[in-house]
């Protein structure tokens, strides 16, 4: 009597998703999602501002927050997925079962990807529906933006799992994942151009393609009357960066999780 | 007669396929050696007690056996399968309770058992049938649908035992199985273990509760400072001749002269008057010597009201060996 690795991974995925549904994280995320959508749709008319008539520009007002939403998904649904088995001692139940650690990692990554993709899909679904109602049209670029967002989801989830496999505490893993994507990558992305280095390999820079496909960015007004040029790598490079971060991080996370001992 | 650590087991053992085979097993944590070089075979159908004080290396051994940690040297096999090389196959025959595990608080016991059962490839109907049986065995049926986040430590320990039994394993590895349970719970779990033993399953159980081990196990080994000190059958170790402690009480406290008489009896190593008017005696010898000393006390005019051992023979043996190894 032995389950196949695929069947075991699917079981782990199902139970991880159940965890998100029964915990406060998914409901909290859905509330946040509703709040963001409500503000984007509700504020302009409340302030007497007309909606954009172009569907791409209309949806672009949503994609401004897509990257942050994706990072929050990584923080809530991935950052503590591995480390919690050690810190909360649930590994004493899970690990003595005849299941390989890499199967556990794959199952957990699949659950995190699924949950984050659901969030992003709901977000883009709401944006697209609103765009269709307001502008009467949808464009191919909106779909592309959605697909780029999904690629960024994979990148964030992969890195979050790497952090989760490396750190000892759930809080530190969660905090580091959040600040890595919202602050640390942003600082590096801002500083590298000063040394004439294009930050094409920084995920937050590559994530610029999510909005860029809808409203290609030019220089934006900066402090002191100057202009800031936001660097966004080309689409192929950005997608390659996402893929590389996901694969490298997931493989390293699996290796570290396999090696890690449950000695607490 | 007790066996030393180096001697083979009394049962016939095929060392390649025994339920538990440990060969030169060792574990270091930095400069600290938790386990030195443990060689141990546990034959099929044995209920094996793994004794030792806290920090002796019991849990380290069990963690290596269940692939929670890696050995620094040596290897552990379960039914001849190397746990490190093929953990999935090796652990397929095993049910384990290690320390008091935590469970996912958002799940109920039934869902937890279904999770474990699905990971093991059990059919749904089998999971449902066995879940009912094991929850009944550990007295958790009434809580089957409650979320585990509401559970006490003792209830989690019962659930841990239930999940270990779910797939009717050939080998049960239990690390302090009655830890966290109240006396009634401890007795119930002991009954469960005895029933499993009656079914011929192999049980490897660590504990520092000697009475529990004596009641449940066929064989024991004693570990301290990561070294195996002793191994033998419970029956033989419990009957071994040696120094035993006894408590004698009298109708009236013995005088100094009477105490001197006691000290003069052959085979009496030590006489210590107690504050309750009784006397603690350390006697070297078996049942015959004890009977002779009791007869001599009565013959000397001491009006004995009770004469009983202090602690079990196993407990005395345990304390002697632990004390010796602590002084090394």
The 10s digit of each residue's pLDDT in A12-37 is: 999 999 999 898 889 999 999 999 99
Are A97 and B118 an interchain contact pair (Cβ–Cβ within 8 Å)?
A: no
Query: CA-CA distances (angstroms) from residue A167 to A108, A170, A175, A248, B103?
Result: 17, 8, 11, 17, 21
What are the chain B neighbours of A26 within 8 Å (beta carbons)?
none
Preferred mutation among B119, B130, B151, B177 to probe A, highest tally of A CBs within 10 A: B119
Residue B259: exposed, middle, or buried by beta-carbon count in 10 A (0-12, 13-18, 19+)? middle
Say how far apart CA A29 and CA A180 lie, in whole Å. 20
Note whether residue A264 is domain-resident. no
Q: What does the pLDDT read at residue A92?
A: 94
B315's torsion region: left (phi>0), alpha (psi -120 to 50) or beta?
Answer: alpha
Closest Cα to residue A162, out of A101, A248, A240? A248
Q: Scanning the structure block, which residue is given the tokens 């791409």?
A: A56
Residues on chain A bordering chain B, Cβ-to-Cβ distance under 8 angstroms: 1-4, 7-8, 11-12, 15, 18-19, 22-23, 88-93, 95-100, 261-263
Q: Per mean pLDDT, which range of A45-59, B3-17, B267-281, B300-314 is the poorest?
A: B3-17
- Do the strands A220-221 and B304-309 form a parallel or antiparallel pair, or are they unpaired? unpaired
- Average pLDDT of the segment spanning B218-232: 90
The percentage of residues in chain B with a pLDDT greater than 70, rounded to a whole number, is 91
CA angle B306, B307, B309 (to 5 degrees): 135
Spell out the residues 6+ positions from residue A109 whose beta carbon is closer than 8 angstroms to its own.
A78, A81, A157, A158, A161, A250
pTM for the full predicted model:
0.85
Which of B88, B113, B150, B177 to mutate to probe the A interface, most A CBs <10 Å?
B88
Average pLDDT over residues A106-135: 97
pLDDT the model gives residue B8: 39
- For residue A150, pLDDT beyond 70: yes
| Average pLDDT estimate for B133-162 | 93
Which of A23-26's residues contact partners 24+ apart within 8 Å by CB, and which partners? Answer: A23/B106, A25/A76, A25/A77, A26/A76, A26/A77, A26/A115
Looking at every residue in chain B, the average pLDDT score rounds to 86
Angstrom distance (rounded) from CA A150 to CA B5: 60
Decide if A91 contacts A85 (C-beta within 8 A).
Answer: yes
In chain A, residues with a C-beta closer than 8 Å to the C-beta of B122 are 1
Whether B120 sits inside 8 A of A97 (CB atoms) is yes
Q: What does the pLDDT read at residue B153?
A: 86
ipTM of the modeled complex: 0.89
Q: Mean pLDDT throughout B313-319?
A: 74
Contacts of B146 in chain A (CB under 8 A): none
% pLDDT > 70, chain A: 94
Q: What span, in angstroms and rounded, lies between the C-alpha atoms of B100 and B154?
A: 9
Contacts B106 to A, Cβ<8 Å:
18-19, 22-23
Q: B119 and A263 in contact by Cβ < 8 A?
A: no
Q: Do A89 and B102 count as a contact with CB atoms less than 8 A apart?
A: yes
Would you call A2 and B107 a contact, using CB atoms and an 8 Å cutoff? no
**Cα(A162)–Cα(B326) distance, integer angstroms:** 44
- CA–CA distance, B49 with B63 (Å, rounded to integer): 16
Specify whether the CB–CB gap between B214 and B318 falls below 8 A.
Answer: no
The pLDDT score that the predictor gives to residue A222 is 54
User: Which positions ≥6 away from B270 have C-beta within 8 Å?
Assistant: B280, B281, B282
Residue B281 has pLDDT above 90, yes or no: no
A90: nearest CB among B69, B103, B111? B103
pLDDT score for A108 = 98
Q: Are A93 and B103 within 8 A, CB to CB?
A: yes
Please give the tally of structural domains in chain A: 1
Q: Is residue B318 over pLDDT 90?
A: no
Structure confidence at residue A224 (pLDDT):
59
- Domain assignment present for residue A227? The answer is yes
pLDDT at position A225 over 80: no
Percent of chain B at pLDDT > 90 equals 45
pLDDT at B276: 79
The partner residue sitting opposite B120, judged by closest CB among A1, A88, A261, is A1
Task: Looking at the complex, report in whole angstroms how far the Cα of residue B59 sits from the nearest Cα belonging to chain A.
Answer: 10
Which residues on A lie below 8 Å from B69 (Cβ)? 261-263
Q: What's the pLDDT score for residue A90?
A: 94
What are B230-243's pLDDT values in tens digits?
Answer: 898 887 777 666 66
A111 lies in a domain? yes
Rounded Cα distance between A123 and A106, Å, is 26
What per-residue confidence (pLDDT) applies to B10?
39
Look at residue B5 in the predicted model and tell me its pLDDT.
Answer: 43
Mean pLDDT, chain A, rounded, equals 92
Site of tokens 């007669």: B1
Q: Which residues have C-beta within 8 Å of that of residue B111, sequence separation ≥ 6?
A: A18
State which residues form the domain around A54: 5-259
- Joined together, the tokens standing for residue A19 give 């965890």
Residues of chain A in contact with residue B65, where contact means CB-CB under 8 angstroms, are: none
Q: How far is the C-alpha of B156 from the C-alpha of A166, rounded, in Å?
A: 28
Alpha-carbon A61 to chain mean position:
18
pLDDT band at B14 (very low <50, low <70, confident <90, very high): very low
Q: Please say whether the beta carbons of B58 and B16 come within 8 A.
A: no
CB-CB: which of B29, B88, B173 is closest to A100?
A: B88
Nearest-10 crossing angle of helices A66-77, A140-166:
30
Average pLDDT, integer, range A190-201: 89
Cα-to-chain-centroid distance, residue A251: 18
Q: Which residues of A22-42 are buried (b: 16+ CB within 10 A; e: fewer)?
A: eeebbeebeeebeebbeebbe
Kindly indicate the confidence band of residue B272, based on its pLDDT and cuts at 50, 70 and 90.
confident
User: Which residue has better confidence, B86 or B13?
Assistant: B86
Cα distance between residue B140 and residue B151, in whole Å: 11
């Amino acid at each position: 009597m032995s389950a196949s690795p695929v069947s075991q991974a699917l079981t782990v995925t199902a139970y991880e998703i159940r965890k998100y549904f029964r915990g406060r994280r998914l409901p909290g995320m859905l509330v946040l999602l509703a709040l963001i959508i409500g503000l984007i749709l509700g504020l302009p008319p409340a302030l007497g501002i007309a909606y954009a008539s172009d569907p791409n520009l209309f949806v672009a007002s949503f994609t401004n927050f897509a990257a942050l939403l994706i990072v929050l998904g990584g923080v809530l649904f991935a950052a503590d997925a591995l480390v919690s088995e050690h810190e909360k001692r649930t590994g004493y139940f899970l690990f003595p079962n005849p299941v390989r650690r890499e199967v556990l990692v794959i199952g957990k990554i699949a659950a995190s990807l699924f949950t984050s993709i659901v969030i992003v899909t709901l977000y883009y679904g709401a944006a697209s529906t609103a765009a269709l109602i307001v502008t009467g049209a949808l464009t191919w670029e909106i779909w592309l933006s959605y697909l780029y967002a999904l690629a960024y989801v994979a990148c964030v989830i992969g890195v979050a799992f790497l952090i989760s496999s490396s750190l000892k505490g759930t809080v530190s893993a969660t905090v580091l994942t959040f600040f890595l994507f919202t602050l640390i990558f942003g600082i590096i992305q801002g500083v590298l151009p000063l040394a004439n280095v294009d930050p094409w390999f920084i995920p937050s820079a590559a994530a610029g393609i999510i909005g860029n496909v809808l409203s290609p960015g030019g220089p934006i007004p900066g402090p002191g009357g100057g202009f800031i040029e936001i660097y966004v790598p080309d689409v192929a490079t950005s997608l390659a960066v996402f893929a590389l971060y996901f694969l490298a991080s997931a493989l390293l996370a699996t290796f570290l999780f396999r090696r890690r001992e449950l000695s607490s | 007669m007790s066996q030393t650590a180096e001697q083979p087991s009394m049962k016939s053992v095929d060392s390649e396929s025994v339920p538990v085979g440990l060969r030169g097993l060792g574990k270091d944590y930095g400069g600290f050696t938790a386990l030195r070089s443990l060689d141990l075979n546990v034959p099929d159908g044995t209920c094996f007690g793994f004794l030792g004080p806290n920090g002796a290396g019991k849990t380290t051994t069990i963690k290596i056996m269940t692939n929670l940690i890696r050995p620094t040297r040596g290897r552990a096999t379960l039914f001849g399968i190397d746990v490190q090389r093929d953990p999935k196959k090796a652990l397929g025959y095993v049910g384990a309770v290690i320390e008091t595990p935590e469970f996912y608080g958002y799940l109920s016991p039934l869902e937890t058992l279904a999770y474990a059962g699905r990971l093991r490839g059990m059919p749904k109907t089998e999971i449902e049938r066995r879940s009912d049986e094991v929850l009944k065995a550990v007295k958790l049926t009434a809580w089957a649908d409650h979320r585990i986040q509401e559970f006490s430590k003792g209830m989690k320990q019962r659930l841990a035992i239930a999940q270990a039994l779910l797939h009717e394993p050939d080998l049960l590895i239990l690390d302090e199985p009655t830890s966290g349970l109240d006396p009634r719970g401890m007795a119930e779990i002991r009954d469960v273990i005895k029933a499993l033993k009656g079914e011929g399953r192999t049980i490897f159980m660590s504990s520092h509760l000697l009475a529990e081990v004596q009641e449940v196990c066929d064989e024991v080994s004693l570990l301290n400072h990561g070294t195996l000190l002793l191994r033998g059958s419970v029956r033989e170790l419990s009957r071994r001749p040696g120094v035993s402690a006894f408590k004698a009480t009298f109708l009236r406290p013995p005088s100094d002269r009477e105490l001197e008489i006691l000290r003069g009896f052959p085979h009496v190593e030590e006489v210590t008057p107690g504050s309750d008017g009784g006397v603690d005696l350390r006697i070297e010898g078996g049942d015959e010597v004890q009977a002779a000393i009791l007869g001599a006390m009565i013959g000397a005019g001491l009006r004995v009201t009770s004469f009983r051992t202090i602690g079990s023979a196993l407990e005395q043996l345990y304390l002697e060996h632990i004390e010796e190894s602590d002084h090394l």
